A and B are shown apart, each in its own frame.
Chain A
Amino acid sequence: MRLNDIVQFALHAMQGYRTRTVLMLLAMAIGVASVVLLTSLGEGARIYVSQQFSSLGTNLLIILPGRSETTGGAPPMMGETPRDLTLQDVIAMQKSRYVRQLAPIVVGAAPVSHRQLEREVMILGSTASMLDVRQLNMSRGQFLPESDMTRAASVCVLGYTLYKELFRGQSALGEWVRVSDYRCRVIGVLEEKGMSLGMDMGDVLVIPVASAQSLFNTESVFRVLIEARSVEVMERAQRDITNIIRTRHDGEDDITVLSQDALLSTFDRILSALTYSLGGIATISLLVAGIMIMNVMLVAVAQRTVEIGLLKALGAPRKLILLLFLTESAFLSMLGALLGLIIGFSGNWVLQQYFPDFPFQAPSWALWAAVTVALGCGLLFGLLPARHAADLDPVQSLSGR
């Protein structure tokens, strides 16, 4: 029998039993679509985190107060330390010849109000360097002025969302806003940026670091973001900063220095594992679809017993019957996989419309794996019914037994 006739025979059979065909296609399509969507979520999370860190530049060091224990896993959100990191420490770090610029950060939440309008937002205390280090842009006005970081000043910069909510399109520059019991004059508005490192940079108020310390009644600094002079001196900068702090903290190594690469590779490992796990879970649905194909094909063989007997009477050998049924399973799997890819990519597109910042993108290995597993399942689980059909006795089959 010619190949195109085998294909045509399989397609005819699929058309002849439409309900069965639709059910089997759906089962396989749902399996493949699950793989596409779930791995897209995992891969999207990985790409998203990578993009967030990459947007900060490749020569970034993050200093946390407290020493992290080498217990593995992700870096600590909060260091454990008996000694805080202070602005004096930051000034000392600034003297390292490997440091181009640094931005201390003090974080807290407080209500910000302008006339009758009030909004609870995140308050970021920092310096002029933060604009470059966090790669922020101004929508209007200017960022915090270059000045002595220990000096509090009554100026502030609004995030774009905060500006829109408090000023409703009116000019904010030169206006006064109230932050808890303090007042500050608006000198600039950040450009619309969205989320950055899990922080909504639209809904923040940036004030000088000393002002933030005063506002939150603290001496300590939450983080210090350091931009090294180049990627090549990252390690030396790391050592130098550790030495500076050790000297200042009575010989104690009580800070954690994280490089962007280290963070990135840790997140990359975690999120890659997550993607593989999600892919694995979705593959189970493919196996279920394969078992469904086997069951439905066994029913199909029972339904088509007479037809199989007839084919044998007309001269079809055992191998050909096997091939005809396997071709049918393979086609159902392939078409199901194709349908699944279409559903999966359509789902990704819909999700992308709702979450434009999150890159829904199935990894190429997942696409190949989904299609290969679908086809493999179709052939593997189609083999038993096909063998069953091929082994039928023609005389018994023709009598419908």
Chain B
Amino acid sequence: MIKLVHISRTFTVGDELVHGLDDISLQLNDGDYVSIMGPSGSGKSTLLNALGLLDQPDSGKYYLNGDDVTQLSELEQARVRREKVGFVFQTFHLIPRLTAAENVALPLTLAGVDHEERDQRVHDVLASLSMTDRSHHRPDQLSGGQRQRVAIARAVVTNPVLLLADEPTGNLDHASGIEVINILEGLNQRGITLLLVTHDTELGKRADRIIRMVDGKVIDAKESA
């Protein structure tokens, strides 16, 4: 279960103080499928970064499975990210010099998982995304949709409880976008909590719950129709 209590985050842009997150409180249950929508600069990505422990809020509490993770050290937060959170980015962020399999293996490598187990898990996750035949290709040898599938494989290879997807279809054509969303929804159906940041209203509506944000505030958080 994820619980945010009065989370705030401000940034200084020039002389101006900008509220990235303004007193956000919300609760997500295990296995939820939530889309976060709102205009540019509304705080969607800031919320996602805070949930992924990439950014530290100025105030408030963040409970992940009952633990206040805002109080953890840098090292412990890194461990939480490694073990419990998966990220899917709009621009994939695959390392160009590594093959698809090596990119997918990266979180396991960082976690110190031994070679044999790593290979097995990478093989399994690539197989589940029908990417086995592309496992030795480098990112520049893959299509956009295939790159995003590799990025999803990398995000879920550690069996995280929370999957954070920031505009995952933003760089893809419609067909590939739908394919990627189907994959993410499939993962959610297997129990992963999925948070999807999107501008696309149609995609956003597919979530069980939509959170709308404006100027760092949650203005609406309701069940999808």
What residues of chain A have their CB less than 8 Å away from a CB belonging to chain B? 1-2, 5, 9, 12-13, 15-16, 306-307, 309-320, 394-395, 398
Contact = CB atoms under 8 A, between A and B. Distances in A.
Given A9-B109, A312-B54, 16 more contacts: A1-B110, A1-B112, A2-B112, A2-B114, A5-B112, A310-B93, A314-B82, A314-B110, A314-B154, A315-B111, A317-B74, A317-B79, A318-B78, A320-B78, A394-B54, A395-B49
Given A13-B97, A15-B97, A313 B52 contact: yes
A10 B78 CA distance: 21
Nearest to A315: B82
A32 B30 CA distance: 59
Contacts of B98: 12
Contacts of A309: 93
Contact of A318 (B55, B74, B81, B111): B74
Nearest to B54: A394
Nearest to A313: B87
Interface in B70-96: 74-75, 78-79, 81-83, 87, 89, 93, 95-96
B78 A395 contact: no
A320 B79 CA distance: 12
B43 interface: no
Nearest to B98: A12
Contacts of A319: 75
Contacts of B54: 312-313, 394-395, 398
- 9 closest A-B pairs by beta carbon, nearest first, are A315-B82, A16-B97, A317-B78, A315-B81, A314-B107, A394-B54, A310-B93, A317-B75, A5-B109
A312 B93 contact: no
24 contacts: A2-B112, A2-B114, A5-B109, A9-B109, A12-B98, A15-B97, A307-B95, A309-B93, A311-B106, A311-B110, A312-B78, A313-B93, A314-B82, A315-B81, A315-B107, A315-B111, A316-B82, A317-B74, A317-B75, A317-B79, A320-B78, A394-B54, A395-B49, A398-B93
Nearest to A2: B112
Of B49, B79, B109, chain A has the most CB atoms within 10 Å of the CB of B109
B36 to A, nearest CB: 16
B49 to A, nearest CB: 5
Contacts of A15: 97
A315 B78 contact: yes
Contacts of B79: 315, 317
A312 B49 CA distance: 12
Nearest to B79: A315
A314 B98 CA distance: 15
A311 B81 CA distance: 11
Nearest to B78: A317
B93 A306 contact: yes
A12 B97 contact: yes
A398 B46 CA distance: 13
Nearest to A307: B95
A319 B52 CA distance: 19
Contact of B89 (A16, A311, A312, A398): A398
Contacts of A316: 78, 82, 110
Nearest to B87: A313
A306 B92 CA distance: 11
Of A312, A313, A317, chain B has the most CB atoms within 10 Å of the CB of A313
A399 to B, nearest CB: 9
Nearest to B96: A16
Contacts of A394: 54-55
Contacts of A314: 81-82, 87, 106-107, 110, 154
A214 to B, nearest CB: 84
B105 to A, nearest CB: 9
A198 to B, nearest CB: 59
Of B83, B89, B110, chain A has the most CB atoms within 10 Å of the CB of B110
Nearest to A394: B54
A247 B49 CA distance: 101
A9 B97 CA distance: 10
Interface in B179-218: none
B115 to A, nearest CB: 8
B109 A1 contact: yes
Contacts of B52: 313
